[in-house]
Amino acid sequence: MKVTGSSPDGNNSIIELKGITKVYGTGVAAVHALGGVDLRIDQGEFVAVMGPSGSGKSTCMNILGCLDVPTAGTYQFKGVDVGSLSRDQRALLRRNYLGFVFQGFNLLNRTSALENVELPLIYRGISTSDRVRRAREALDAVGLSGWETHTPGGLSGGQQQRVAIARAMVIAPKVLMADEPTGNLDSTRSREIMELLRSFNREQGISIVMVTHNAEMALYATRIVRFFDGIIDADEHNGDGRL
């Protein structure tokens, strides 16, 4: 699947949400997770998404990542109406244009760092030689050249997260979705990971959307969006990132 559209008004947005709602359940048991969210993210932005538990930020991220669909409203990705896509088409969009980094690393424990990074390329049908080359380049980009044969058990938490970032970046995504990427790391490793993400954002122009509870980590972003009770409560620009 190729996404070749552009925003109808010719702007630089890569993501546009309009009137997004999400309701789980029905009747008196219904939970209104999102109550009408409007959000535009331009190409090259680094957006930190914050808010207390139950505020709707994770639900919004799941919709942005094509892991869930809204109850109402529209989601456009590079001008393409995601709501009009089939489940298979959404899976292709997710596979080809979105990278994911999670708090728990989500690496295969008995698989080498190189093989973990290769996984997204296997799903795309990339040849073995090209796959290995690109995986090595991705590991080098995150500072892990020479660690290709190590399994996650032989890596520190910070190194495991670097492998996870390399795996997300190996497909050259348009948007990197990061869900609490420093949640399992100490402060020093957290800052190292944030510097790495910021370098990808600044040097390669990759848009980043990051959920975090950590106010210090949020300051690496160029914009901070705060959720509360299913709506966006604040949307603040942060210059080039104050840290």
Average pLDDT, the chain: 92
Query: 195: part of which helix (H) or strand (E)?
Result: helix 187-204
Strands (E), 10-122: 13-24, 31-42, 46-50, 72-77, 80-81, 98-102
Please name the helix (run of DSSP H) or strand (run of DSSP E) that holds residue 176, with its range, or none. Answer: strand 175-179
Model confidence at 56, pLDDT cuts 50, 70, 90, reads very high
Tell me the angle at which helices 128-141 and 157-169 cross, rounded to the nearest 10 degrees: 130
- Whether the Cβ atoms of residue 39 and residue 15 lie closer than 8 Å to each other: yes
The tens digit of pLDDT for each residue in 11-31 reads 689 999 999 999 999 998 999
DSSP for residue 6? -
Helix, strand, or coil here: 49? strand
- For 21-59, b/e burial (b = at least 16 CB within 10 A) is bbeeeeeeeeeebbeebebbbbeebbbbbbbeeebbbbb
Per-residue pLDDT averaged across 162-189, rounded?
Answer: 94
- Tell me how far CA of residue 65 lies from CA of 96, 131, 210, in angstroms: 12, 24, 12
Domain map (residue ranges) of the chain: 13-237
Distance between CA atoms of residues 63 and 59, nearest Å:
6
Instruction: Calculate the alpha carbon distances from 206 to 7, 28, 141 in Å.
Output: 18, 42, 14
Rounded mean pLDDT of 218-229?
96
CA distance 68 to 230: 16
Q: Which CATH class is domain 13-237?
A: alpha beta
* Among candidate residues 213, 100, 218, the one with its CA nearest the CA of residue 167: 100
Per DSSP, the three-state class of 151 is coil
pLDDT digits (tens, 9 = 90+) for 121-139: 998 889 999 999 999 999 9
- Span 108-119, average pLDDT: 95
Q: Write down the pLDDT at residue 226.
A: 97
Q: How does residue 6 score in pLDDT terms, banded at 50, 70 and 90? A: very low
Is 80 exceeded by the pLDDT of residue 4? no
Q: pTM of the entire structure?
A: 0.91
